[in-house]
Amino acid sequence: MARDGVTAYVGIGANLGDARTAVAQVLQDLGRVPATRLVARSSLYRTAPVDAGGPDFINAVAALDTGLTAPDLLAELHSLEQRAGRERPWRNAPRTLDLDLLLYGAGRIESPLLTVPHPRWQERAFVLVPLAEIAPGLVDAKALAAVTSQVIARIP
């Protein structure tokens, strides 16, 4: 079901295979989601896994203008993950691609399928730093200060 445009923010991460290429590719693919336009994208960042194993992650955040409902957008994100070979053998397993719907306008959603805002978005440097790059007004300075111990490096 389509609706008037809403700005949604998507967290992007990958740490299996060619993670940098997977993140770069999905940034292009997000612009092809029906009723959706990519309006901003952060730089790429390298981070150590948080509550997960495997190699370092490549992360980014994208801003989308979408006419899709939040559940429909989430379904499209899951489809992109599947096309990238995402498997879910256990919670927080290493992944070829991980797409999280961080924010959906000013919406608040609590359902078995989806929680928006993402429950841990303000606790993760890999979300806050790239989000602050493209939407500084959304990131609280105290939240950024609280994640300074999490190693994150911008990729040139």
- Does 54 or 149 have the greater pLDDT score? 149
From the number of C-beta atoms within 10 Å of its C-beta (0-12, 13-18, 19+), residue 135 rates as: middle
CATH number of residue 8's parent domain: 3.30.70.560
Pick the catalytic residue from 95, 108, 120, 140. Answer: 95
Domain with 37 in it: 2-154
Pick the catalytic residue from 41, 46, 72, 100. Answer: 100
Q: Which residues pair with 8 in a beta bridge?
A: 64, 104
41 tagged catalytic: no
The confidence score (pLDDT) of residue 140 equals 93
Which residue is listed with tokens 């929680």?
115
Q: What is the mean pLDDT of residues 76-89?
A: 77
Percent pLDDT > 90 in the chain is 68
Query: Could you tell me the pTM of the whole model?
Result: 0.91
86 tagged catalytic: yes
Provide the number of structural domains found in the chain. 1
Percent pLDDT > 70 in the chain is 89
* pLDDT exceeds cutoff 50 at 2: no
pLDDT category, 90, cuts 50, 70, 90? Answer: very low
Pick the catalytic residue from 98, 108, 140, 154. Answer: 98
pLDDT category, 10, cuts 50, 70, 90? Answer: very high
Pick the catalytic residue from 83, 86, 140, 154. Answer: 86
- Is there a contact between 67 and 37 (Cβ–Cβ < 8 Å)? no
Q: What is the mean pLDDT of residues 17-44?
A: 95
The confidence score (pLDDT) of residue 92 equals 57
pLDDT category, 82, cuts 50, 70, 90? Answer: confident
